[in-house]
């Protein structure tokens, strides 16, 4: 009965899309779904509205209320425009910046966004073609805009697209604006509420000049230009994995002084089909395979990659046996923050008023480095909008050195307020040059960090559960973890539980509970064990999955202990997985 009721509701929602308010192609596709024997595609497309959440929209492209299309994009933009006119009613001219990635329909969606803003009397600065996400953030600040939109689904599969909304500081939107915008978007009840017919006089195309300003600002982050000059011929293989990074990353590396940048020609071709990879995600070894093959061919010193919208960085290095190995997201953040903190200390630039930021699921080894350098460290929720929030709170108060998260994102600057692979890749190459200057390979530099601050090993596990049934299952899993927390993991007692939904931290031994100091709640659970392990559980905010972040600790007295520590940690992680049932 429940399924029949759902199907009846879905059909009623779908039949609305047969009216002449919708374009002919959309009506034809909806009609085909309605007449199909298998109702599953219809249910998945219409069982709910694609939610405009705190990060905007992200979903599979196609017709339907639960899909990315011109109507869901249009409703989001109209709602945002209505809120901007309310929030900035005193401004004579509200303005926004609009960018997009290489995905199928991204240019079309971006032009529709610019048209809707302009139809509402809002000036839209529209990039002339695809650009990295961080440049959109930079442009908002550079142009003095009140908001911005980037059409991208980041590293998701090719079927997806997305809509990221930004505020005047160049950061993705947080409270109170997030809830206010969501309310305005939800108030759009029909296609007739959306002003699709743009005003060309209020649309200005931007491009090359903004590129140069962004690259110049990134060059200003360099701490070791003299070191780069002595190691400028490092062999650096770079792949944009068919994405936007091809526009700026090679130019930025050359701007830093590197002269030996080796391309993966097949993946320099921008394409929303991502034809050479199963998934355009640089954290996956398969996505890096062609770049690694090129590295082996030329005996490269470093392999770097960016995801389709060039906000995430991928990295492959040579281990002590000369084999190419993937550097995980925690290690990327660890190495870059270690370089920035240590190099600033070497140059005498630390005054005691510096800080770094990491997310709660990122390795705790970073805090040990910060403490050793007398640098304040902030923990924040997953997502760069929270790192940007810490930067905003410390504006003109303290100096930001850098921040990152385990999901391959890093930000070294304040002129942009979202993760940035363009600057991160440039600094990663500089970090390797600095290591070489000190007689170290990349792997030896990483091992020395572990010897000095303690070994840690991390693994992220995503359990995918698509569709409505999957969403229900994820909700049930989180409910069960709260009701029945593990008493021990990998043989070590759980001594502390943090629940960010209730903002409570409970000490298991003493039974005391205290409040967590965070700006809002989040559906995240963390378990800390007696032997120093940290396990975090959270549903993804943008994808149909529940994520587990496992960090275990070990001992390393010398570099020679690395493989032994690694093997012991992997065994412990497997034990944790077994205990969690994942």
Q: Is 36 contained in some domain?
A: no
DSSP 92: S
- Looking at 159, 180, 206, the residue that finishes a domain is 206
Q: Could you tell me if 225 and 344 are in contact, meaning their C-beta atoms sit under 8 angstroms apart?
A: no
Q: Is 497 contained in some domain?
A: yes
The pTM of this model reads 0.94
Task: Report how far apart, in Å, the C-alpha atoms of 24 and of each of 110, 234, 387, 572 are.
Answer: 21, 55, 44, 57
Exposure string over 253-291, b if 16+ CB within 10 A, otherwise e? bebbbbeebbebeebeebbbebebbebbbbbeeebbebb
Within its chain, how far is the Cα of 295 from the centroid?
26
Helix axes 421-437, 249-256, angle to 10 degrees: 30
CATH code of the domain in which 130 resides: 3.40.120.10
In this structure, the answer to whether residues 137 and 285 fall within a common structural domain is: no
- Looking at 428, 453, 478, the residue that finishes a domain is 453
Number of domains within the chain: 3
In this structure, the answer to whether residues 198 and 229 fall within a common structural domain is: no
What's the count of helices (H) and strands (E) in the chain, helices before strands? Answer: 18, 23
In this structure, the answer to whether residues 120 and 252 fall within a common structural domain is: no
* Listed residue (107, 201, 188, 115) closest to 151, CA to CA: 107
Task: Report how far apart, in Å, the C-alpha atoms of 262 and of each of 247, 289, 503 are.
Answer: 15, 15, 48
User: What is the residue range of 59's domain?
Assistant: 48-206
Q: Is 217 contained in some domain?
A: no
In this structure, the answer to whether residues 351 and 374 fall within a common structural domain is: yes
The reported pLDDT for the residue numbered 1 is 35
Q: Is 40 contained in some domain?
A: no
Catalytic residue among 95, 154, 224, 421: 154
Neighbours of 476 (CB within 10 A): 11
In this structure, the answer to whether residues 267 and 387 fall within a common structural domain is: yes
**Dist CA 492 CA 532 (whole Å):** 9
- Residue 154 is among the residues annotated as catalytic for this protein: yes
Compute φ and ψ for 274, nearest 5 degrees: 45, 60
3-state secondary structure 107-170: HHHHHHHHHHHHHCCCEEEEECCCCCHHHHHHHHHHHCCCEEEEECCCCCCCCEEEEEEEECCC
The reported pLDDT for the residue numbered 148 is 98
The reported pLDDT for the residue numbered 542 is 64
**Dist CA 172 CA 392 (whole Å):** 12
In this structure, the answer to whether residues 104 and 178 fall within a common structural domain is: yes
**Dist CA 338 CA 224 (whole Å):** 14
* Listed residue (249, 243, 263) closest to 211, CA to CA: 249
The reported pLDDT for the residue numbered 466 is 81
Q: Is 33 contained in some domain?
A: no
In this structure, the answer to whether residues 399 and 466 fall within a common structural domain is: no
Helix/strand/coil for 574: helix
CATH code of the domain in which 470 resides: 3.30.310
Q: Could you tell me if 161 and 106 are in contact, meaning their C-beta atoms sit under 8 angstroms apart?
A: yes
**Dist CA 475 CA 437 (whole Å):** 51
In this structure, the answer to whether residues 193 and 263 fall within a common structural domain is: no
The reported pLDDT for the residue numbered 405 is 96
In this structure, the answer to whether residues 424 and 477 fall within a common structural domain is: no
In this structure, the answer to whether residues 465 and 390 fall within a common structural domain is: no
In this structure, the answer to whether residues 532 and 573 fall within a common structural domain is: yes
| 579 exposure class (CB count in 10 Å sphere: 0-12, 13-18, 19+) | middle
- Looking at 400, 420, 453, the residue that finishes a domain is 453
Q: Is 22 contained in some domain?
A: no
Beta strands at 488-489 and 492-499: parallel, antiparallel or unpaired:
antiparallel
Q: Is 4 contained in some domain?
A: no
Task: Report how far apart, in Å, the C-alpha atoms of 332 and of each of 315, 341, 433, 434 are.
Answer: 8, 14, 15, 15
- Written as six digits, the tokens of 126 are 């529209």
The reported pLDDT for the residue numbered 470 is 82
In this structure, the answer to whether residues 446 and 475 fall within a common structural domain is: no
Per-residue pLDDT 10s for the chain (582 aa) are 357 888 999 999 999 999 999 999 999 999 999 999 999 999 999 999 998 876 789 999 999 999 999 999 999 999 999 999 999 999 999 999 999 999 999 999 999 999 999 999 999 999 999 999 999 999 999 999 999 999 999 988 999 999 999 999 999 999 899 899 999 999 998 999 999 999 999 999 999 999 999 999 999 999 999 999 999 999 999 999 999 999 999 999 999 999 999 999 999 999 999 999 999 999 999 999 999 999 999 999 999 999 999 999 999 999 989 999 999 999 999 999 999 999 999 999 999 999 999 999 999 999 999 999 999 999 999 989 999 999 999 999 999 999 999 999 999 999 999 999 999 999 999 999 999 999 999 999 999 999 999 999 999 999 888 877 788 889 899 999 999 999 999 999 999 999 999 999 999 988 899 999 999 999 999 999 999 999 999 998 667 889 999 999 998 999 999 999 999 999 999 999 999 998
DSSP assignment of 352-381 equals S-EEEEEETTS-THHHHHHHHTT-EEEEE-
């Amino acid at each position: 009965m429940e399924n029949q009721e759902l199907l009846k509701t879905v059909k009623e929602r779908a039949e609305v899309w047969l009216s002449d308010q919708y374009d002919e192609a959309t009506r034809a596709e909806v009609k085909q779904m309605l007449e199909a024997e298998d109702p599953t595609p219809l249910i998945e497309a219409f069982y709910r509205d694609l939610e405009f959440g705190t990060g905007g929209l992200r979903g599979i492209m196609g017709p339907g209320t639960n899909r990315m299309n011109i109507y869901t994009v249009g409703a989001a933009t109209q709602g945002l425009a209505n809120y901007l006119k309310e929030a900035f009613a005193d401004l004579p001219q509200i303005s926004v910046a609009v960018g997009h990635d290489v995905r199928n329909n991204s240019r079309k969606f971006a032009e529709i966004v610019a048209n809707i803003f302009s139809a509402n009397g809002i000036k839209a600065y529209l990039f002339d073609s695809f650009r990295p996400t961080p440049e959109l953030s930079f442009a908002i600040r550079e142009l003095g805009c009140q908001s911005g939109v980037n059409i991208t689904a980041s590293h998701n599969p090719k079927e997806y697209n997305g809509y990221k909304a930004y505020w005047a500081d160049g950061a993705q939107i947080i409270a109170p604006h997030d809830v206010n915008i969501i309310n305005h978007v939800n108030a759009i009840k029909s296609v007739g509420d959306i002003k699709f017919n743009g005003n060309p006089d209020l649309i200005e195309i931007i491009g090359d000049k903004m590129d140069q300003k962004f690259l110049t600002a990134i060059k200003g982050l360099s701490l070791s230009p003299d070191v780069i000059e002595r190691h400028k011929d490092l062999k650096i293989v770079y792949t944009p994995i068919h994405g936007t990074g091809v526009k700026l990353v090679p130019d930025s590396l050359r701007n830093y002084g590197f002269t030996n940048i080796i391309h993966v020609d097949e993946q320099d071709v921008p394409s929303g089909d991502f034809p050479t990879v199963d998934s355009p995600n640089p954290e996956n070894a398969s996505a890096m395979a062609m770049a690694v093959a090129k590295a082996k061919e030329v005996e490269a010193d470093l392999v770097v990659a960016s995801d389709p919208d060039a906000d995430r960085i991928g990295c492959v290095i040579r281990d002590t046996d000369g084999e190419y190995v993937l550097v995980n997201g925690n290690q990327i953040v660890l190495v870059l923050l270690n370089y920035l903190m240590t190099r600033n200390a070497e140059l005498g630039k630390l005054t005691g008023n510096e800080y770094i930021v990491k997310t709660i699921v990122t390795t705790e080894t970073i805090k040990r480095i910060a403490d050793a350098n007398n640098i304040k460290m902030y923990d924040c929720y997953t997502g760069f909008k929270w790192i940007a929030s810490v930067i905003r709170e410390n504006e003109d108060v303290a100096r930001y050195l850098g921040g990152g998260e385990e999901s391959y994102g890093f930000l070294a600057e304040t002129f942009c307020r979202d993760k940035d692979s363009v600057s991160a890749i440039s600094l990663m190459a500089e970090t390797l040059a600095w290591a070489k200057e000190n007689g170290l390979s990349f792997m030896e530099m990483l091992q020395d960090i572990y010897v000095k601050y303690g070994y840690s090993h991390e693994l992220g596990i995503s359990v995918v559960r698509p569709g409505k049934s999957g969403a229900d299952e994820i909700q049930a899993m989180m409910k069960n973890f709260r009701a029945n927390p593990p008493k021990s993991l990998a043989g070590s007692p759980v001594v502390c539980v943090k629940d960010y939904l209730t903002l409570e931290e409970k000490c298991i031994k003493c039974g005391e509970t205290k409040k967590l100091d965070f700006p809002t709640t989040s559906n995240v659970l963390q378990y800390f064990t007696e032997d120093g392990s940290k396990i975090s559980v959270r549903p993804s905010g943008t994808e149909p999955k529940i994520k587990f972040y496992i960090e275990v600790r070990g001992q390393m007295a010398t570099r020679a202990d690395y493989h032994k520590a690694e093997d012991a940690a992997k065994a412990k992680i497997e034990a944790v997985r077994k205990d969690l049932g994942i």
